[in-house]
A and B are shown apart, each in its own frame.
Chain A
Amino acid sequence: MRAAMATAEVDDDVLGADPTAVRLESEVATIMGKEAGLFVPSGTMGNLISVLVHCDKRGSEVILGDNSHIHIYENGGISTIGGVHPRPVKNNDDGTMDINSIEAAIRDPRGEIVYPTTRLICLENSHANTGGRCLSAEYTDKVGELAKKHGLKLHIDGARIFNASVALGVPVNRLVQAADSVSVCLSKGLGAPVGSVIVGSKSFISKARILRKTLGGGMRQLGFICAAAFVALKENVAKLEGDHKKAKMLAEGLNQIKGLRVNVAAVETNIIFFDILEGSKLTAEKLYNNLEEHGVLVMPEGPYRMRIVLHHQISSSDVHYTLSCFQQAFNGVHEENGNQV
């Protein structure tokens, strides 16, 4: 990636078009089966632009999961910045929302004097907060049909869409066929330093380009960032399957530790959530500190819950080491004054 960045062909992407950016955008659009693409510096900007372009009229509402990244982790930007009203619908444990619940949340146009106007449905695939769960092509298609039936657009937050595609064994363009737009992260499991690409129709993308500039995302010679993203796309999709296997292995190992519980069946991609059981002497905070002392970093998600995410720079040896650190933390639980129990 560094080599690609050092030699990338660049130009002013605002006054004209940066050739490397153009190449990346075209490539991702082709892979995703959409007309055009636009490089953006973050997944947050990708989702923000997509929602705002679909909901460009004042008084718009978007249906999305109550446990979705857009709703929980993007500073409420679609509202605070974009003036779009969110209508959250309950996310099931598998990342889906019940089709009936989605339909019930669509505003009846006859109530327009009191209602905002529903314009968009957002899905997230893979769904992060439920543990990297994959939405099937069939489910996505059903939501797409529902959207069409009511004249709505469908956007997929596909930050980890390649993980979902690999785990399901479904080509990524088939997986997002029903979507009007998709936001794809290159900076996560694919390993690029920066960036996402949003894809959609030509007209969608040309509006997105202007909104990107308005938000301050109109970068000049950005080709060298795109060059690194290109390498990520070319080289690292193939490594995702390995990440999923390591995640499964680690999940199974963790689940066997007394004091921990993992829903192993729910580990479909590269994310593992685990719970520290009641009665255990460890809290998430103590476990976090213990692991950190051994060089293992995980993410706390509450007093008794934590998250692990695998990626291609974590080796099998790292996974074994991690497991042994956990085992040691639980089996050799130390009392407060340092004596082994």
Chain B
Amino acid sequence: MVTRRVDLRSDTVTKPTEAMRAAMATAEVDDDVLGVDPTAFRLESEVAEIMGKEAGLFVLSGTMGNLVSVLVHCDTRGSEVILGDNSHIHIYENGGIATIGGVHPRPVKNNEDGTMDIDSIEAAIRDPRGELLYPTTRLICLENSHANSGGRCLSVEYTDRVGELAKKHGLKLHVDGARIFNASVALGVPVNRLVQAADSVSVCLSKGLGAPVGSVIVGSKSFIAKARILRKTLGGGTRQVGLICAAAFVALKENVEKLEGDHRKAKILAEGLNQIKGLKVDVAAVETNIINVDIVDSKFTAEQLHKHLEEHGVLVMSKGQFRSVFSIVNHPFRFARKWTKLEFVARTK
């Protein structure tokens, strides 16, 4: 009988705190479609300011944030977007930019550190002289922190260089910043500096920051005005949305400072796991709150490990036959008893 549960599958599982529930219960709301919901407006303005952009728009999910951003930048039929072949937009968003938005993806190889080689990006930009055969490249997307490579951080120097490349070719730059605060904290770079080169950023409040729902996209005033209409078209025009924004506000105010703790715990856990015979973790690659763990003892599969861990109340995510993902997040009811977790895992071996 398991009395204790440690859910390490993802940082999306975070439940709303008492402060968030209290904020939701008293939030000032209005019809955000007929006019403006005051709490939504406050949140959007706040996030825009923090990110150093002109305006913001609350959206219900990171997927919607990216979908709206790509589609607004690529509003002309026949557009193409360059993005990582292992990026969230390309792998986990149902191909929506294409199936829903009619935008053609041009995936470029993601390195293990989450970057794409600048040369490879440039080589992927369509030559306008070939327009009779080519779609038109309009946008480059980066992902920071990069989830699938293990929450790796793109440096401000790298981001700036991609931004210069985009400008040189008349392209826009969108940063999928679902976990941009994690990257900012890990790199020790203020978040507005980190995304300075970007035309738009999508920021999740429902992941490590712990809000129950939502993301905010930020960009220029004209970008956001178009985004608002597209959000409505997709069905994201919610009425008294301030209720949700109130919780997101609390997340923003209270939980950014907890991220550093998550990163430290992730490092401790990663080091411990790496010392277990049969497991391998690239500890140097653990920069934020995500750990990719490979099982090198082929007597064990990820599935078996998961079952065993689950019986002890520890939940992780499968990524193939021999890889598991542990996402560390500051959960209100979690104890930071790393050693106990390692004991569990050690005992399974």
Contact = CB atoms under 8 A, between A and B. Distances in A.
Contacts of A210: 94
Given A7-B21, A81-B100, A225-B243, A15 B237 contact: no
A193 B233 contact: no
Nearest to B243: A193
Contact of B67 (A5, A215, A225): A215
Given A215-B64, A220-B206, A41 B235 contact: yes
A45 B101 CA distance: 15
Nearest to B94: A214
A14 B12 contact: yes
A6 B101 CA distance: 37
A45 B234 contact: yes
A184 interface: no
A194 B93 contact: no
A217 interface: yes
Nearest to B207: A220
B325 to A, nearest CB: 12
A220 B13 CA distance: 8
Interface string B9-36: 1101111100001101110010000000
Interface stretch (B55-63, B105-113, B256-264): B55-63
Interface in A195-217: 195, 210, 213-217
B224 to A, nearest CB: 16
A44 interface: yes
Contacts, number: 138
A5 B240 CA distance: 13
Contacts of B12: 12, 14-15, 220
A22 to B, nearest CB: 16
Given A5-B243, A45-B235, A80-B233, A216 B68 contact: yes
A214 B244 contact: no
Contacts of A219: 60-61, 213-214
B9 A221 contact: no
> Interface SS of chain B: helix, strand, loop or mixed?
loop
Interface string B304-324: 000000000000000000000
Nearest to B65: A216
Interface residues of B, number: 45
Contacts of A218: 61, 63
Contacts of B239: 42, 187, 193-194
B59 A216 contact: yes
A6 B212 contact: no
B96 interface: yes
B241 interface: yes
A194 B238 contact: yes
Contact of B13 (A12, A48, A77): A12
Contacts of B241: 193-194
Given A5-B25, A219-B60, A221-B15, A214 B232 contact: no
A29 interface: no
Nearest to B235: A45
B15 A2 contact: no
B235 A15 contact: no
Contact of B240 (A40, A44, A194): A194
Given A220-B206, A221-B206, 6 more contacts: A15-B12, A44-B232, A45-B234, A214-B96, A215-B64, A216-B63
* The 7 A-B residue pairs with the shortest CB-CB distance in the complex, in nearest-first order: A45-B235, A216-B64, A221-B212, A193-B240, A214-B94, A75-B233, A6-B25
17 contacts: A5-B243, A6-B22, A10-B16, A10-B212, A44-B232, A75-B229, A76-B233, A82-B100, A193-B243, A214-B93, A214-B94, A214-B100, A215-B100, A216-B60, A216-B68, A216-B234, A221-B15
